[in-house]
């Protein structure tokens, strides 16, 4: 079929009539599917049930330090958990604090602490007239929600195939003292699946901030989340690159096992310089006596090392890879060559980013919902929920079954076609 933009009005009208009939038929199927969040499916959670058998009532509960993990102590995490999470991020264990189950909670705390108490002696952000954050787009809606919650002004930075537009990043960071941070998902980015190039990472490390309390919020959420064994993205390790560039304190790095073991009962960590961690611990000693060391011990004994975690992740990939491939196959078969959509083909992570014709995303999401498929809200991948082109849609293929995914994707492409035809007819 030729591109929709090359069709005559009569051809478009005919397409609309046929697509409308198909849409009404689809509504009659009574679909009830949720593709709005990147959640593991039940089979992925079942894979980790052995984690619960590692410790029993007769287990030795002492960690490497000889401390009983059931008791107080080791506020920044047990050694074996630090080593495991350090290996995931590719950093030294002494640069790691192991927290509770949520990396998002660490990020929230890090922003909150900066607002109320500043960063390493700098003026608390709450006492400044203006605080700004750079936000690569499309990006992670929960990152944007945190900065919006604290009244921080967000500036969109377009994503390229190599990561954020670094010319813009360098300009804002070097010229505006109010720019205090940037959100980054450097590997298999949410939602595009893009991984930052070596040049991009080096340019981040070499930034010359106008604000001495500027920090890169490096959310390495998908560090080991490959879809393929023979095709994998690899990124430079940012902490060591910053040290080489003379900026050792410029990064807060975050990761968790939320999509490795249990999303609600995993293990999260932060990596940073010794100076940053010392500053963080001043607040942490008031906030907690210690996080769940029993869970940390459980994870460390279950995986043993990074290789054990990688073996586990291959099982995850085997479950979700066919879903990604099925979605991409339907998109290519049904939309390829029509000129009404573009999409990413990630090698890892949890999402596919779809760009519809300008002005169509909200209508497509609404059509899908009308027929029983819930997608992430259009605009969610932009600060304040406002996509200026109303184009980007995040597809989360992981939670539905393969059969449900096929049905949902068929409906999605139908809605893309119908909304696109209607848009073109309005403009004709």
Q: What are 318-356's pLDDT values in tens digits?
A: 999 999 999 999 999 999 999 999 999 999 999 999 999
At residue 303, the pLDDT reads 98
The packing angle between helices 306-335 and 79-89, to 10°, is: 40
Q: What are 34-91's pLDDT values in tens digits?
A: 888 889 999 999 999 999 999 999 999 999 999 999 999 999 999 999 999 999 999 9
Average pLDDT over residues 251-261: 97
pLDDT band with cut points at 50, 70 and 90 for residue 279:
very high
Domain 61-304 has CATH 1.10.1740.10: no
Q: Where are the beta strands (DSSP E) in 331-406?
A: 341-343, 352-356, 373-375, 392-395
Q: Which residues are CB-neighbours of 183 under 8 A, at least 6 positions away?
A: 133, 134, 135, 136, 139, 140, 143, 144, 147, 217, 219
CATH topology agreement for domains 4-44+310-427 and 61-304? no
Q: Is 61 exposed, middle or buried (0-12, 13-18, 19+ CB in 10 A)?
A: middle
What is the third-level CATH fold of 4-44+310-427? 3.90.1150
Whether 1 shows a pLDDT value over 80: the answer reads: no
Average pLDDT over residues 180-193: 97
More confident call, 51 vs 406: 51
Whether 240 shows a pLDDT value over 80: the answer reads: yes
- Sort residue 188 into left (φ over 0), alpha (ψ -120 to 50) or beta: left
Whether 2 shows a pLDDT value over 90: the answer reads: no
Closest CA to 413 of 387, 400, 426, 395: 395
Percentage above 90 pLDDT, the chain = 93
Q: What are 289-328's pLDDT values in tens digits?
A: 999 999 999 999 999 999 999 999 999 999 999 999 999 9
At residue 36, the pLDDT reads 83
H helical segments located in 304-395: 306-335, 361-370
At residue 34, the pLDDT reads 83
At residue 33, the pLDDT reads 85
At residue 30, the pLDDT reads 85
- Please give the distance of CA 281 from its chain centroid, rounded to a whole number: 26
Domain ranges of the chain: 4-44+310-427, 61-304
Percentage above 70 pLDDT, the chain = 100
């Amino acid at each position: 079929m030729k591109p929709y933009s090359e069709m005559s009005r009569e051809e478009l009208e005919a397409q609309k009539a046929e697509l409308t009939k198909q849409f009404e038929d689809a509504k009659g199927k009574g679909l009830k599917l949720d593709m709005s969040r990147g959640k593991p499916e039940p089979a992925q959670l079942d894979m980790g049930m052995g984690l619960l058998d590692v410790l029993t009532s007769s287990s030795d509960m002492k960690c490497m330090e000889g401390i009983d993990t059931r008791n107080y102590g080791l506020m920044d995490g047990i050694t074996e958990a630090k080593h495991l999470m350090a290996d995931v991020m590719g950093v030294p264990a002494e640069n790691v604090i192991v927290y509770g189950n949520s990396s998002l909670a660490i990020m929230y705390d890090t922003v909150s602490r900066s607002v109320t108490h500043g960063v390493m002696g700098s003026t608390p952000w709450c006492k400044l007239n203006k605080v700004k954050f750079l936000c690569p787009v499309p990006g992670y809606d929960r990152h944007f929600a945190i900065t919006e919650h604290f009244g921080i002004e967000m500036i969109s930075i377009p994503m390229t195939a190599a990561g954020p537009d670094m010319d813009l990043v360098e300009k804002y960071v070097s010229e505006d003292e109010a720019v205090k941070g940037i959100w980054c998902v450097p590997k298999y980015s949410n939602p595009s699946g893009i991984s930052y190039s070596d040049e991009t990472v080096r340019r981040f490390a070499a930034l010359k901030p106008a604000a001495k309390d500027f920090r890169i919020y490096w959310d390495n959420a998908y560090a080991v989340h490959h879809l393929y064994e023979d095709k994998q993205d690899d990124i430079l390790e940012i902490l060591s690159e910053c040290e080489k560039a003379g900026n050792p304190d410029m990064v807060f790095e975050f990761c968790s096992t939320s999509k490795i073991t249990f999303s609600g009962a995993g293990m999260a960590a932060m990596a940073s310089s010794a100076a940053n961690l010392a500053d963080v611990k001043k607040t942490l000693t008031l906030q907690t006596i210690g996080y769940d060391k029993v869970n940390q011990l459980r994870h460390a004994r279950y995986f043993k090392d990074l290789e054990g975690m990688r073996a586990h992740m291959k099982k995850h990939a085997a479950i979700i890879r066919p879903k990604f491939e099925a979605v991409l196959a339907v998109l290519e078969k049904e939309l390829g060559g029509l000129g009404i959509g573009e999409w990413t083909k990630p090698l890892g992570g949890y999402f596919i980013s779809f760009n519809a014709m300008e002005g169509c995303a909200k209508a497509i999401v609404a059509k899908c919902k009308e027929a029983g498929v819930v997608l992430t809200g259009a605009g969610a991948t932009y600060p304040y929920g406002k996509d200026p082109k109303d184009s980007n849609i995040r597809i989360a293929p992981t939670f539905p079954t393969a059969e449900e995914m096929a049905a949902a994707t068929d409906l999605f492409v139908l809605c893309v076609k119908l909304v696109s035809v209607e848009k073109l007819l309005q403009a004709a």
